[in-house]
Chain A
Amino acid sequence: MNVDGVNNGIVLDHIQAGKSMEIYRILRLDKLTCSVAVIQNAVSEKYGKKDIIKIDENIDINLDVLGYIDPNITVNRVIDGKLSKKEHLELPEVVTDIIKCKNPRCITSVEQEIVHKFRLADREKRIYRCIYCDAEHK
Chain B
Amino acid sequence: MNDVRCVINITDLSVEELDKLMDLADDIIADPVKYSEKCKGKKLATLFFEPSTRTRLSFESAMMELGGNVLGFSTADSSSAAKGESVSDTIRTVGCYADIIAMRHPKEGAPTVASLKTTVPIINAGDGGHYHPTQTLTDLLTIRRERGAIGDFTIGLCGDLQFGRTVHSLIYALLRYENIKYVLISPDELRVPDYVRDELNEAGVEWKEVERMEDVMPELDILYMTRVQRERFFNEEDYIRLKDSYILDMDKLKTAKSDLSILHPLPRVNEISVTVDDDPRACYFRQVLNGKYIRMALILTLLGLGQKGEDR
Q: Tell me which residues across on chain B come within 8 A of A113, comparing CB atoms.
A: 86
- Of B86, B87, B108, which contacts A106 at CB under 8 A? B108
Interface residues in B96-153 by Cβ distance below 8 A to A read 105, 107-110, 112-113, 127-130
Q: Tell me which residues across on chain B come within 8 A of A134, comparing CB atoms.
A: 108-109, 130
Cβ of A24 within 8 Å of any chain B Cβ, yes or no, is no
Contact pattern, A 101-135, Cβ under 8 Å of B = 1, otherwise 0: 00101111111011000000000000000111111
The minimal Cβ–Cβ distance linking A133 to chain B, given in whole angstroms, is 4
A132 with B86: CB separation less than 8 A: no
Bound complex: CA A105 to CA B128 (Å): 8
Given A107-B87, A107-B112, 4 more A-B residue pairs with CB atoms under 8 Å apart are A105-B128, A105-B130, A106-B107, A114-B113
| Chain A interfacial residues counted at CB < 8 A | 16
Instruction: Determine chain A's interface SS by DSSP, over half rule.
Output: loop
- Of A103, A107, A130, A135, which contacts B110 at CB under 8 A? A107
Bound complex: CA A107 to CA B129 (Å): 12
The minimal Cβ–Cβ distance linking B10 to chain A, given in whole angstroms, is 13
- List 18 contacting pairs A-B, 8 Å CB cutoff, sorted by A: A103-B108, A105-B107, A105-B129, A106-B108, A107-B87, A107-B107, A107-B108, A107-B110, A107-B112, A108-B109, A111-B86, A111-B113, A113-B86, A132-B109, A132-B113, A133-B107, A133-B108, A135-B108
Bound complex: CA A88 to CA B234 (Å): 50
Contact pattern, B 142-175, Cβ under 8 Å of A = 1, otherwise 0: 0000000000000000000000000000000000
The minimal Cβ–Cβ distance linking A132 to chain B, given in whole angstroms, is 3
Q: Tell me which residues across on chain A come within 8 A of B113, comparing CB atoms.
A: 107, 111, 114, 132
Bound complex: CA A130 to CA B110 (Å): 12
Q: How big is chain B's contact interface, by range?
A: 10 to 19
- Of A103, A109, A110, A132, which contacts B112 at CB under 8 A? A132
Q: Tell me which residues across on chain A come within 8 A of B109, comparing CB atoms.
A: 106-108, 130-134
7 smallest CB-CB distances across A and B, nearest first, come from A132-B109, A133-B108, A133-B109, A107-B107, A107-B110, A107-B109, A132-B112
Interface residues in A59-115 by Cβ distance below 8 A to B read 103, 105-111, 113-114
The minimal Cβ–Cβ distance linking A107 to chain B, given in whole angstroms, is 4
Bound complex: CA A132 to CA B131 (Å): 11
B107 — nearest CB in chain A belongs to which residue? A107
Bound complex: CA A33 to CA B250 (Å): 81
Q: Tell me which residues across on chain B come within 8 A of A111, comparing CB atoms.
A: 86-87, 113
Bound complex: CA A52 to CA B86 (Å): 44
A135 — nearest CB in chain B belongs to which residue? B108
The minimal Cβ–Cβ distance linking A26 to chain B, given in whole angstroms, is 25
Bound complex: CA A110 to CA B87 (Å): 10
Q: Tell me which residues across on chain B come within 8 A of A135, comparing CB atoms.
A: 108
The minimal Cβ–Cβ distance linking B90 to chain A, given in whole angstroms, is 11
Q: Tell me which residues across on chain B come within 8 A of A109, comparing CB atoms.
A: 107
The minimal Cβ–Cβ distance linking A138 to chain B, given in whole angstroms, is 14
The minimal Cβ–Cβ distance linking B202 to chain A, given in whole angstroms, is 12
A131 — nearest CB in chain B belongs to which residue? B112
Q: Tell me which residues across on chain A come within 8 A of B112, comparing CB atoms.
A: 107, 131-132
